[in-house]
Amino acid sequence: MNRPQNNRAWLGVLPVLLIVAFSAVIPLMTVVNYSVQDIFDVNTRLFVGFDWYRETLRDPRFLDALLRQLGFSALVLAIELPLGILVARAIPREGRWVGLILVLLAIPLLIPWNVVGTIWQLFARPDIGLFGQLVNGLGIEFNYTAEPLHAWVTLIMMDVWHWTSLVALLAFSGLTAIPAACYQAAVMDGAGSWQVFRHVELPRLTAVLVIAVLLRLMDSFMIYTEPFVLTGGGPGNSTTFLSQYLTSMAVGQFDLGPAAAFSVLYFLAVLLLCWLFYTSVIASDGERG
């Protein structure tokens, strides 16, 4: 579709730019500014160049948190993506149940993130939680506040509970856009359910799945509230992810310079991951023709 050239359209974009300047550009510039200075108080500052960056990249706690973060994001994506597609394929395309199923699916997405943490805390605690009691009843001593492995299992289950719906709803909206004729042709060729999925549905879902992976990738990489409520980053540091470490640095210790350098590296890491994923998808699309 050809859109006419009209530079007055900038006027329409102006309010958005003002808001974003206030809520993103100025704060981001402040962070970059802090990251190259050693700040003692408002009037005593020292330019230190990239010292804070070097220090952050050598900080073993930063590197550990980064590794945990990568592992967490990879795990939740590996579970949520196939599970979401499976659920989306199971939803009937029409009928009176569709609306109800979609509304029920969307509920976890609308619960405040700290409440998600609280819900799973209440559900998984070995003393008062249904899940904790059940697992203990099976003879496994389950305690997510003491065992790192149990904490991870609980966190992953919580994230899957919280976010698989997003993947499912995205995939479902993609599925409903596939014309019935494509299915009829496949059925006439005698294709089974897997083949229908592989050759009819998956190629047409690429666009929505790219959105799903991007959203889950960046959001899981920023996760803070749910682990903060559920495990507080523990036991030990075993569930301390990047946002939590950064928050403890910035608010807890008020180390402006190092926290700012950390922030810049963190933002760049998210951008880099999304860019890598996006370009690799576009590249493989190009090869297929």
Partner 1 sequence: MRGASSKMAIWVLGLYGLYLAAPVYWLLRLALQSNQAILSGERDFTLANFAEIFSNPVWYQGFANSLTYVAINTVISVSVALPAAYAFSRYRFLGDRHLFFWLLSNRMAPPAVFLLPFFQLYSAVGLFDTPLAVALAHCLFTVPLSVWILEGFMSAVPRSLDEMARIDGHSLPYFFFRIFLPTIRGGIGVTVFFCFMFSWVELLLARTLTGSEAKPIVVVMTRTVSASGIDWGVLAAAGVLTILPGLAVVWFVRRHLVKGFALGRVS
Least Å distance, CB 239 to partner 1, is: 16
- Count the neighbouring beta carbons within 10 Å of the beta carbon of residue 60: 7
Binding mask 101-120 for partner 1 (x = CB under 8 A): xxxxxxxxxxxxxxx--xxx
Q: How far apart are CA 198 and CA 122, in angstroms?
A: 40
Query: Strand, coil or helix: what is 46?
Result: strand
Exactly one of 99, 190, 236, 289 binds partner 1 (CB under 8 A); that residue is 99
> Quick one: 196 or 287, whose CB is closer to partner 1?
196
- Candidate ranges 44-52, 144-152, 182-190, 281-289; the one touching partner 1 (CB under 8 A): 182-190
Q: Does 35 bind partner 1 (CB under 8 A)?
A: no
- Count the neighbouring beta carbons within 10 Å of the beta carbon of residue 280: 10
> Quick one: 176 or 284, whose CB is closer to partner 1?
176
State the amino acid at position 214 in one-letter form: L
Least Å distance, CB 275 to partner 1, is: 9
Q: Does 90 bind partner 1 (CB under 8 A)?
A: yes
> Quick one: 132 or 287, whose CB is closer to partner 1?
132
> Quick one: 152 or 266, whose CB is closer to partner 1?
266
Query: Strand, coil or helix: what is 119?
Result: helix
By CB under 8 A, what part of segment 50-79 binds partner 1? none
Residues whose CB falls within 8 Å of the CB of residue 51, separated by 6 or more in sequence, listed in order: 38
Query: Strand, coil or helix: what is 192?
Result: coil
By CB under 8 A, what part of segment 229-288 binds partner 1? 229, 242-243, 246-247, 250-251, 256, 259-260, 263-264, 266-267, 270-271, 274
- What does the DSSP assignment read for 203-244? HHHHHHHHHHHHHHHHHHHT--HHHHHHTTT-STTTT--HHH
